[in-house]
Amino acid sequence: MNDQTSILIIYTGGTIGMIKDQESGVLKPFNFENIYEQIPDLKQFSCNLNFHCFEPLVDSSNINPDAWIKIAEVIKENYENHDGFVILHGSDTMAYTASALSFMLENLNKPVILTGSQLPLGFLRTDGKDNLIAAIQIAAASEDETPLVPEVCIYFENELIRGNRAVKYNAENFNAFVSGNYPVLAEVGIYIKYNSEKIRKPNFKKLKIHKKLEPNVGLLKLFPGITENFFNAIINNTGTKALVMETFGSGNATTEKWFIDSMKKAIDSGLIVLNVTQCITGSVNQGQYETSIELEKIGVISGKDISTEAAITKLMFLMGKETDSKKLISLLSKSLRGELSN
Ligand code: ASP
């Protein structure tokens, strides 16, 4: 980091920038122009910090593909004159946004670090200040003019995680995210220790943003006792083009005849079904058990060790640009941005 380094901080909303409404007592977003009042320490950075504020600010439960496009456009517009990007975002859907951006930003050669907090900046014990300061340091870190982390990541509570591997698993602890299937990219203590071998390498190609996302994707979590009626309503929903199906353990599901028959019919009529595990760690392995062999036979695609968040956004991204189903299926099984282990 030096005086010439420039970081763009994109504030979308979320707890980090919230205050308590005096009348109702509920948390609502505050105006980011007051950031230096909230964190005077930011003035100590030797690099340039520039800000871009979403209008209106949103709780991340209201984030959607249009917001992802907006973020990607802001990054694209500011790409040449910034060395890195920090996105302040609510933690609730941060893993979805990080996953979506990882696919939408092709040939990303600069850091895009998402962070937020569990307690607002204005609170005495806030985790927001440390998260923001470390995220800026990571976004600005370089060696021989090459950024140390040229990929989309989430920084939270001393850990830097690949964005499309992150899952929010704790609604209360400061340590809210886990990367169940990929090592942490950096650990922050007295030093910032980068796990360089596991970080994606820059390819020095021109950034390309993909803005066409297919909205007609769905998610179904299986549970013991799921009824034929409920399952059919989901699987036969007209309009749905692809379904992420969260199965048990290593990709297992009921072997009931109605279940396999209905799904086969839907797949034969063109529905893409991607099998992901309900577990945070581990992989789908279709065919390991009797309860997944039929899925493999009828054309359910194994999502391997992809997270649900990455699976949904990868489908949106691929289906927005790929019409050939054979190619689509082959791309779903491959790692595009480090989202699954080949
Ligand atoms: N509800 C908030 C949000 O996701 C929680 C947070 O910021 O962590 O926007």
One pLDDT digit (tens) per residue for the chain, 342 residues: 667 899 999 999 988 887 777 788 777 666 677 778 778 899 999 999 999 999 888 889 999 999 999 999 999 999 999 999 999 999 999 999 999 999 999 999 999 999 999 998 878 899 999 999 999 999 999 999 899 999 999 999 999 999 999 999 999 999 999 999 999 999 999 999 999 999 999 999 999 999 999 999 999 999 999 999 999 999 999 899 999 999 999 999 999 999 999 999 999 999 999 999 999 999 999 988 888 899 999 999 999 999 999 999 999 999 999 778 899 999 999 999 999 997
Q: Ligand 1, closest atom to CA 93?
A: 4
Spacing of C-alpha 153 from chain mean position: 8
- Assess if CATH 3.40.50.970 describes domain 217-332: no
Distance CA 210, CA 94 (A): 19
288-to-216, 235, 250, 273 alpha-carbon distances in Å: 31, 24, 8, 19
Spacing of C-alpha 33 from chain mean position: 27
Beta bridge mates, 18:
29
Q: What pLDDT shows up at residue 2?
A: 67
CB 220 within 8 A of CB 255: no
Nearest residue (by CA) to ligand 1, atom 7, is 90
Q: What is the 8-class DSSP label of residue 323?
A: -
CB 139 within 8 A of CB 85: yes
Which residue, chain included where needed, has tokens 């470390």? 134
Distance CA 319, CA 120 (A): 37
Residue spans in the chain of domains classed CATH 3.40.50.40 = 217-332
Beta bridge mates, 301:
274
Fold of 6-209: Rossmann fold (3.40.50)
3-state secondary structure of 155: strand
Nearest residue (by CA) to ligand 1, atom 4, is 90
CB 296 within 8 A of CB 252: no
Whether 126 lines ligand 1, by a CB cut-off of 6 Å, is: no
Q: What pLDDT shows up at residue 189?
A: 95
Q: Ligand 1, closest atom to CA 94?
A: 4
3-state secondary structure of 20: strand
Q: What pLDDT shows up at residue 1?
A: 64
Taking alpha carbons only, the member of 236, 245, 234 closest to residue 312 is: 245
Whether 286 lines ligand 1, by a CB cut-off of 6 Å, is: no
Q: Ligand 1, closest atom to CA 58?
A: 9
3-state secondary structure of 262: helix
Whether 59 lines ligand 1, by a CB cut-off of 6 Å, is: yes
Whether 150 lines ligand 1, by a CB cut-off of 6 Å, is: no
Residues forming the active site:
15
Q: Ligand 1, closest atom to CA 91?
A: 8
Residue spans in the chain of domains classed CATH 3.40.50.1170 = 6-209
Whether 92 lines ligand 1, by a CB cut-off of 6 Å, is: yes
* DSSP helix, strand, coil percent of the chain (3-state; round to 5): 35, 20, 45
- Alpha carbon of 27 to ligand 1 centroid (Å): 10
pTM: 0.95
Nearest residue (by CA) to ligand 1, atom 3, is 90
How would you classify the pairing of strands 142-143 and 146-147? antiparallel
